[in-house]
Amino acid sequence: MGSGKTSWAIQHMEEALASKKFIYITPFKSEVERVLNACANRRFVHPENNKGINKPEDIK
């Protein structure tokens, strides 16, 4: 069982002003989906494996 780090991050991002920007980095695809679903009001983007470019270019 985890210690609540992702839950805290989700809560923090949801309670922040809409103008506040975040970069959330995780090596786990399940965590990416969890954060995207929990923070639906935020306009998060994430890299796609099939675009054939590097990650920094993919998230611009």
pLDDT band at 51 (very low <50, low <70, confident <90, very high): low
Tell which wins on pLDDT, 30 or 58: 30
User: Is the distance from CB of 24 to CB of 17 less than 8 angstroms?
Assistant: no
- Output the pLDDT for position 19: 93
CA distance 24 to 22: 6
How high is the mean pLDDT of the chain? 84
**How far, CA to CA in Å, does 33 sit from each of 14, 19, 60?**
15, 22, 19
Q: pLDDT tens-digit profile of 6-34?
A: 999 999 999 999 999 999 988 888 898 99
pLDDT band at 59 (very low <50, low <70, confident <90, very high): low
What is the domain partition of the chain in residue ranges? 5-58
User: Is the distance from CB of 58 to CB of 50 less than 8 angstroms?
Assistant: no
